A and B are shown apart, each in its own frame.
Chain A
């Protein structure tokens, strides 16, 4: 190490120590292990769930970091690494795990001082492979034998001393959800940190097939010596799978699970949604009374409260949807759904795993696109990313609900079904079909390639860890509210300004907005959108909705100036106004536009981050806008021809 580097190391350790208000930099321990080994539950048990979630620079692999105070009073920094099967670095998750372990530049961090290898005690035959690979890195290492209770229930009897002796590392049995073994684990980790002076990482070279063979025969040798009695196969996972993966019953269950999910999102969320809506009205009224009429009141009531409020009401739906997704993921059902769907996904050239990101995109395309990380092949992954925003996300719901409530009569059809619900279902289906069609086209043209390979684990069923789910939900809620507080807040304020200024002249005959900037912009754009049946007011409302589609309601309310009424919900009033102003053909055309258009800055931003290029977000925006324009054009022309104009 030369002088400059020495100085830089000194400097960076200074900076780090000042940031953590410690006299010396905190020691870092990192958790690594196979997917589904209960690593995240163990991380939550160690840190008490107080984790900072961020992203590694340049990629969206989640970086989870927490602190823990040990029994001896010391403090440790704990990093949770993505679950991997090996360090061969073929997926983004694996690359990050390897980079962090080696202290790569990309992660902007030094190599951890100690590793906690986490292994699922019920699957040591495979899990120990990664442990041996980790051991090769030359860092101090402690093994946590997680899910020890399940292994014992299945009759496993291990000689832990022998295992530890053969592996050459301390072995501590843990049961993460019950906090069992966590203190012993930390005690061993601290002991090891004090006794071993961590030197440089040994390094890592591309593995050969022979090395993998040797690694696993070593695993077999060690297990043979350390196992007193082997475990019986998982009886109830097998029994459940007899039904869940059954050719007929499996499909029925799949249909019911997701049917229930959508029912829940639409029906169960109503009560909290109405409550939030009424609270926003109260707030709006209170602020309205406190402030004298003028620009400030107008900004707060018409701009901020109605803009942000129209988005916050969807929090219950988003939380419910994520509750389902996190629950299904945690209990082990999601990969089984992918297994059942693989045949169909394969037909349009998608990976069975694409099912999970596409399903998550019903909540929001952002986590959906992030969930594509588990797809190894770049072409498969890009196809999934590009079509994910066509799945009907929850931000489209407010617009759908408002337009359907206003324009579609709630007639009963065949006795039990209702026309409004049917139209809603049709819009969801239209999104799915559009996504499948585009995926197929992409696979036949720009992203042509061999049919993607499938290799995924169907983990043992387990009862989800409540703590992990609650923490996951809190995280999503925070992200959503954060978005409402930033993107949507600024867009609302901007739109309020554009539609309030300049003020109409004294001799004004038309509504105030037509003299404003927004009015002028809308009128300039009108010739472009009139073939779709859109008037200049829709054009005005569409502009901010390119940043976040859910602001459309607030924008229309602003443009149609219905925000200042005292009674009734804004959505109801707006619906009544629109019904007077628009034809059914216009409403249908706007609905189709909403199915197909890419109106979400966050989606474009996450696509940019995930693909590491501006090209793919550009492709996404252009193809979706074109599709939306054509779709809306055809709908309007056809509906007008049928006499609905």
Chain B
């Protein structure tokens, strides 16, 4: 089972979250991601990209639509599936 970072996916792709807070040393930030719904086992889907370089992303997770940059999305590891 190979994992990818959420920030590497493009619009329409989705994956099951397996790890939150990869390479992040800020506990506050990780907890914030989790409280907003980025939790292991939940499904994250890239729904939109902003203009001019495709950053930030709009990601659907646990029924809500969240905006974050690719760099931040890279702290989330997913197993991609169709």
Q: Do A and B bind each other?
A: yes
Q: Which residues of B contact A129 (CB under 8 A)?
A: 35, 37
Inter-chain CA distance A237–B60, complex, in Å, is 12
| Interface residue A623 (Cβ < 8 Å from any Cβ of B) | no
**What residue of chain A has the Cβ atom nearest to residue B62's Cβ?**
A125
Give the A-B pair count, Cβ closer than 8 A.
117
Q: How many residues of A contact B (CB 8 A)?
A: 43
Whether the Cβ atoms of B51 and A340 lie closer than 8 Å is yes
Inter-chain CA distance A213–B67, complex, in Å, is 21
* A interface majority secondary structure: helix
Annotate A212-241 by CB proximity to B: 1 below 8 A, 0 otherwise: 110011000000000000000100011001
Whether the Cβ atoms of B58 and A241 lie closer than 8 Å is yes
Taking A88-B35, A125-B62, A457-B36 as contacts, is the C-beta distance between A247 and B49 under 8 angstroms? yes
Q: Which residues of A contact B52 (CB under 8 A)?
A: 247, 343
Annotate A436-465 by CB proximity to B: 1 below 8 A, 0 otherwise: 000000000000000101111111100000
Whether the Cβ atoms of B66 and A212 lie closer than 8 Å is no
Question: CB < 8 Å: which of A251, A455, A456 contacts B51?
Answer: A251
Q: Which residues of B contact A28 (CB under 8 A)?
A: none
Whether the Cβ atoms of B34 and A454 lie closer than 8 Å is no
| Interface residue A339 (Cβ < 8 Å from any Cβ of B) | yes
**What residue of chain B has the Cβ atom nearest to residue A242's Cβ?**
B48
Interface residues of B in 19-71 (CB under 8 A from A): 21, 27-37, 39-41, 47-53, 55-56, 58, 60, 62-69, 71
Question: CB < 8 Å: which of A122, A125, A209, A339 contacts B67?
Answer: A339
Q: Which residues of A contact B41 (CB under 8 A)?
A: 217
Whether the Cβ atoms of A342 and B31 lie closer than 8 Å is no
| Interface residue A83 (Cβ < 8 Å from any Cβ of B) | no
Query: Which of B40, B51, B53, B66 is packed against the most chain A CB atoms within 10 Å?
Result: B51
Q: Which residues of B contact A209 (CB under 8 A)?
A: 21, 27, 30-31, 34
Whether the Cβ atoms of B66 and A456 lie closer than 8 Å is yes
| Interface residue A589 (Cβ < 8 Å from any Cβ of B) | no
Q: Which residues of B contact A251 (CB under 8 A)?
A: 51
| Interface residue A245 (Cβ < 8 Å from any Cβ of B) | yes
Q: Which residues of A contact B65 (CB under 8 A)?
A: 237, 241, 457-460
Taking A209-B30, A213-B39 as contacts, is the C-beta distance between A343 and B68 under 8 angstroms? no
Taking A247-B49, A455-B67, A455-B68 as contacts, is the C-beta distance between A339 and B58 under 8 angstroms? yes
Inter-chain CA distance A551–B53, complex, in Å, is 46
Whether the Cβ atoms of A247 and B50 lie closer than 8 Å is yes
Whether the Cβ atoms of B58 and A343 lie closer than 8 Å is no
Whether the Cβ atoms of B31 and A86 lie closer than 8 Å is yes
Query: Which of A125, A217, A339, A457 is packed against the most chain B CB atoms within 10 Å?
Result: A339
Residues in chain B within 8 A of chain A (CB atoms):
21, 27-37, 39-41, 47-53, 55-56, 58, 60, 62-69, 71-72
Q: Which 7 pairs across A and B sit closest by C-beta, in order of nearness?
A: A247-B51, A86-B35, A125-B62, A245-B48, A458-B65, A125-B63, A212-B34
Known: A86-B31, A88-B32, A352-B67. 14 other contacts (CB 8 A): A85-B35, A86-B32, A86-B35, A88-B35, A213-B34, A241-B65, A245-B50, A247-B50, A250-B51, A342-B55, A343-B51, A343-B53, A455-B33, A455-B66
A-B contact pairs, 7 of them (CB 8 A): A88-B28, A233-B60, A241-B65, A339-B56, A342-B50, A453-B29, A459-B65
